[in-house]
């Protein structure tokens, strides 16, 4: 009966009403605030959503309006998603650390009039850009701290809007139910912006019907139920976060736990012990490095045991479990995990095997914003580090020119907001979505993704240049955080490298090396020697394969970290290759000109209101090839 009843709920406000009615006193959301876990039941969630929706209506929010949502994945931002849906509005989640220019593009493209934000940091950005966004009007801040002296004419405290909502509901008792009942399955439910790896982010539109269909298939394939608790570590601006923290809980009733901060993820994992865990590669790599750093401080015997047993990979033995794997899973909060997925990009083989060595059932997946998260997921019995799984139910995959991956799904995006030309370039008349990635099926029918078509190149010799193949091998080593390899229309491969400062700092301190900050640490001759050893190890491995032409002949270690704020990475931590190529053009020229040093320019963005240019000389080293 319940299954039939929930199947009849075709919008998210109706699903919330169902969960509040059938699981009213069960936890829907938790968040750790000032050291204490606070819980919202499904009934409390429904009440919060009603108050906020009525409050939004009281300050002018209307059907069809867009509501920008800025902040980490937090309960009140989830309430905001559903409150917008209740009024026939469209939430537009954005990254909390997005730059002013990124926000201008999103607010103007979406035509958002309202925004609900986490706190002062986001308020300041919106105030700064307000004159550049002619349709944007009202800001609602969840955290009032630091906002006492701000102009309140178009700035509202979240709790004040809720209070307005309670009053509005008392004066218009039928309004809320009437608004919810007007909602239709085919209404646009959200606009989610692409990461902008190769260009300007585009706003993909999804309907209630499509999102719920994806959610039902996902719940079925992952065997999720009301006990599948998770920890919300992904930003709400991603399709996977919306699926896992919003759609799936509304279909199953499981509880979503929100960490205190990004710095407390591992501690909060230990406290909650989630059964359902999904994370992007950089979070899994952070957890891996957390263990590596701990082992660097450990005694000789414990470190030797770790080195031996961590090499066991997926063939871990009972003794390894007793001595190493079990305690490490407890430290990371992974002891109760039954479903674990990688989201957003590809994990290096070293880290992938590490988690499998611990007995964590980690599976690769592949998806795109336009497909609303997952297109493929690895089956439980077919886990491989080099592939991304089988197509999920009702999804078709085929290959076009250059091996481009195309998929067709009943839940694919409706189109890009206010951009029919871009929609036509990506979505064919018969519903196939062009991913821009190239790939193939392996012998087991699993999808293997080779990389972005625009990233693939060709050497002057005619051999194919596959940058990911080089970069992933180097990122195998914990001391190396980011790599961009260059080789298209060149005679050989060079690499621009970022060190992992946390790991290298520990390594340097043990050797009593002297440095004052990241730039000096990266420039030490000892650091270059360490990295050179890894580059040459990769070259040796490549020399024994059919990719020997990908060996790195020269490399440089950047004096600063690549970042989203610096433009080198997207907000989802992917390389923006065209930007890097342009920004470091002089350095790339020096790599191929045989020079041993290069003076590069960088800008100090920390000085308020100023952009001060500075110059630094970086070393370029040759690496042995085999």
At 82-92, the pLDDT tens digits run 999 999 999 99
- Non-local (6+) Cβ contacts of 493 within 8 A are 465, 470, 485, 486, 487, 550, 551, 552, 553
Ranges 49-53, 209-213, 572-576, 591-595: which has the least confidence: 572-576
Distance, CA of 446 to CA of 579 (rounded, Å): 32
Half-sphere exposure of 576 (CA within 13 A, CB side): 25
Mean pLDDT of 234-252: 94
Enter the tokens of residue 1.
Answer: 């009966």
Enter the tokens of residue 318.
Answer: 């009972």
**Cβ neighbours around 53 below 10 Å, total:** 29
Enter the tokens of residue 580.
Answer: 């890097």
Dihedral sign (CA 255, 260, 264, 268): negative
On the question of pLDDT at 269 being above 50, the answer is: yes
| Residue 398 backbone phi and psi in degrees, to 5 | -145, 175
Residue 109: predicted pLDDT: 94
Residue 606: predicted pLDDT: 44
Residue 475: predicted pLDDT: 87
Beta-strand (E) ranges in 45-118? 66-70, 90-94, 114-117
Q: Are 513 and 525 in contact (CB under 8 A)?
A: no
Half-sphere exposure of 205 (CA within 13 A, CB side): 18
Residue 560: predicted pLDDT: 87
What CATH number labels 2-213+233-256? 3.40.50.12780
Q: Are 373 and 240 in contact (CB under 8 A)?
A: yes
Q: How far is CA 300 from CA 297, 303, 305, 320, 329, in A?
A: 9, 5, 9, 17, 21
**Cβ neighbours around 497 below 10 Å, total:** 25
Residue 262: predicted pLDDT: 81
SS3 532: helix
pLDDT classification of 196: cutoffs 50, 70, 90: low
Ranges 188-202, 269-283, 314-328: which has the least confidence: 314-328
Nearest Cα to 256, choosing from 224, 281, 282, 216?
A: 224
Q: What is the pTM of this model?
A: 0.85
Residue 570: predicted pLDDT: 84
Residue 605: predicted pLDDT: 43
**Cβ neighbours around 236 below 10 Å, total:** 25
Distance, CA of 459 to CA of 466 (rounded, Å): 10
250, burial (CB in 10 Å: exposed 0-12, middle 13-18, buried 19+): buried
For the chain, give every residue range classified as CATH 3.40.50.12780. 2-213+233-256
Residue 251: predicted pLDDT: 96
DSSP state, residue 575 = B
Mean pLDDT of 453-475: 86
CATH class of the region 456-622: alpha beta
Ranges 195-209, 254-268, 579-593: which has the least confidence: 195-209
Mean pLDDT of 409-424: 90
Mean pLDDT of 2-19: 86
Q: Are 412 and 206 in contact (CB under 8 A)?
A: no
Distance, CA of 47 to CA of 176 (rounded, Å): 11
Q: Which residues pair with 32 in a beta bridge?
A: 37
Nearest Cα to 14, choosing from 188, 147, 251, 180?
A: 180
- Ramachandran quadrant class, 601 (left: phi over 0; alpha: psi -120 to 50; beta: rest): beta
* Chain mean pLDDT for the chain: 88
Residue 602: predicted pLDDT: 62
pLDDT classification of 473: cutoffs 50, 70, 90: confident
pLDDT classification of 608: cutoffs 50, 70, 90: very low
pLDDT classification of 402: cutoffs 50, 70, 90: confident
- Non-local (6+) Cβ contacts of 95 within 8 A are 70, 102, 235, 237, 571
Q: Which residues pair with 390 in a beta bridge?
A: 377
Strands laid side by side in the 90-94 sheet: 90-94, 66-70, 114-117, 138-141, 155-157
Enter the tokens of residue 438.
Answer: 């190239």
pLDDT classification of 141: cutoffs 50, 70, 90: very high
More confident residue, 358 or 491: 491
On the question of pLDDT at 185 being above 50, the answer is: yes
On the question of pLDDT at 224 being above 80, the answer is: yes
pLDDT classification of 455: cutoffs 50, 70, 90: confident
Q: Are 267 and 329 in contact (CB under 8 A)?
A: no
Tokens 């090396």, located at residue? 513
Residue 396: predicted pLDDT: 93
Mean pLDDT of 334-343: 91
On the question of pLDDT at 1 being above 60, the answer is: no
For the chain, give every residue range classified as CATH 3.30.300.30. 456-622
- What's the chain's length in residues? 626
Mean pLDDT of 145-163: 89
On the question of pLDDT at 20 being above 90, the answer is: yes
Distance, CA of 464 to CA of 381 (rounded, Å): 33
Q: How far is CA 107 from CA 33, 124, 135, 238, 486, in A?
A: 30, 15, 8, 17, 35
Strands laid side by side in the 203-207 sheet: 188-193, 203-207, 415-416
- Return the H-helix or E-strand segment holding 351: helix 349-357
Q: How far is CA 292 from CA 314, 351, 499, 612, 622, in A?
A: 19, 11, 15, 37, 28
More confident residue, 302 or 192: 192
Q: Are 568 and 576 in contact (CB under 8 A)?
A: yes
Q: How far is CA 295 from CA 236, 287, 291, in A?
A: 33, 13, 6
Enter the tokens of residue 347.
Answer: 């994990």
Residue 148: predicted pLDDT: 82
Residue 320: predicted pLDDT: 54
| pLDDT tens for each residue of 506-519 | 999 989 999 988 88
More confident residue, 277 or 293: 277
454, burial (CB in 10 Å: exposed 0-12, middle 13-18, buried 19+): middle
Q: Are 119 and 155 in contact (CB under 8 A)?
A: no
Residue 604: predicted pLDDT: 46
Residue 287: predicted pLDDT: 87
Mean pLDDT of 53-63: 96
């Amino acid at each position: 009966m319940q299954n039939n009843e929930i199947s009849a709920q075709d919008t998210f406000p109706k699903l919330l009403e169902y969960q509040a009615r059938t699981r009213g006193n069960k936890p829907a959301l938790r968040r750790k605030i000032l050291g204490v876990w606070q819980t919202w039941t499904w009934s409390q969630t429904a009440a919060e959503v009603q108050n906020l929706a009525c409050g939004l209506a009281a300050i002018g929010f209307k059907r069809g309006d867009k509501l920008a949502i800025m902040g980490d994945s937090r309960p009140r931002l989830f309430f905001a998603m559903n409150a917008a849906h209740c009024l026939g509005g469209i939430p537009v989640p954005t990254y909390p650390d997005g730059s002013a220019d990124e926000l201008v593009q999103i607010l103007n493209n979406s035509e958002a009039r309202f925004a609900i934000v986490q706190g002062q940091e986001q308020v300041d950005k919106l105030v700064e850009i307000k004159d550049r966004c002619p349709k944007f009007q009202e800001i609602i801040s969840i955290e009032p701290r630091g906002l006492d002296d701000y102009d309140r004419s178009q700035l509202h405290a979240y709790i004040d809007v809720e209070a307005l909502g309670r009053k509005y509901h008392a004066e218009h008792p039928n309004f809320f139910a009437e608004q919810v009942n007007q909602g239709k399955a085919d209404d646009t439910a959200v606009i989610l912006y692409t990461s902008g790896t190769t260009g300007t982010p585009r706003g993909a539109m999804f309907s209630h019907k499509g999102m719920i269909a994806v959610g039902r298939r996902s719940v079925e394939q992952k065997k999720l139920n009301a006990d599948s608790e998770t920890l919300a570590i992904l930003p709400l601006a991603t399709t996977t976060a919306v699926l896992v923290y919003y759609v799936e809980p509304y279909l199953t009733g499981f509880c979503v736990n929100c960490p205190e901060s990004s710095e407390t993820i591992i501690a909060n994992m230990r406290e909650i012990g989630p059964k359902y865990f999904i994370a992007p590669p950089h979070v899994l790599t952070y957890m891996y490095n957390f263990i590596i750093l701990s082992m660097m401080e450990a005694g000789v015997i414990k470190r030797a045991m770790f080195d031996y047993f961590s090499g066991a990979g997926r063939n871990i033995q009972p003794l390894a479990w007793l001595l190493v794997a079990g305690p490490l899973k407890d430290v990371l909060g992974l002891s109760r995990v039954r479903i674990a997925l990688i989201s957003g990009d590809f994990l290096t083989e070293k880290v992938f095997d590490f988690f499998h060595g611990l007995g964590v059932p980690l599976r690769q997946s592949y998806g795109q914003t336009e497909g609303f998260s997952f297109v493929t997921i690895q089956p439980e019995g077919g886990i491989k580090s080099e592939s991304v799984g089988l197509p999920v139910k009702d999804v078709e995959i085929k290959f076009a020119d250059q091996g481009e991956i195309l998929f067709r799904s009943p839940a694919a995006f409706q189109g890009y907001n206010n951009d029919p030309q871009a929609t036509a370039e990506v979505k064919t008349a018969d519903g196939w979505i062009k991913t821009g990635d190239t790939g193939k099926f392996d012998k087991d029918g699993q999808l293997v993704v080779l990389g972005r078509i625009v990233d693939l190149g060709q050497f002057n010799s005619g051999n194919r240049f596959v940058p990911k193949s080089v970069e992933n091998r180097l990122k195998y080593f914990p001391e190396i955080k980011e790599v961009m390899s260059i080789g298209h229309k060149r005679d050989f491969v060079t690499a621009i490298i970022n060190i992992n400062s946390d790991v290298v700092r520990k390594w340097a301190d043990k050797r009593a090396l002297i440095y004052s900050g990241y730039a000096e640490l990266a420039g030490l001759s000892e650091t270059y020697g360490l990295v050179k050893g890894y580059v040459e190890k990769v070259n040796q491995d490549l020399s024994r394969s059919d990719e020997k032409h990908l060996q790195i002949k020269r490399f440089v270690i950047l004096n600063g970290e690549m970042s989203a704020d610096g433009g080198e990475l997207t907000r989802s931590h992917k390389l923006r290759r065209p930007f890097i190529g342009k920004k470091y053009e002089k350095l790339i020229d020096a790599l191929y000109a045989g020079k041993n040093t290069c003076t590069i320019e960088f800008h100090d963005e920390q000085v308020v209101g100023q952009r001060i240019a500075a110059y630094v000389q970086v070393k370029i080293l040759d690496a042995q090839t085999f």
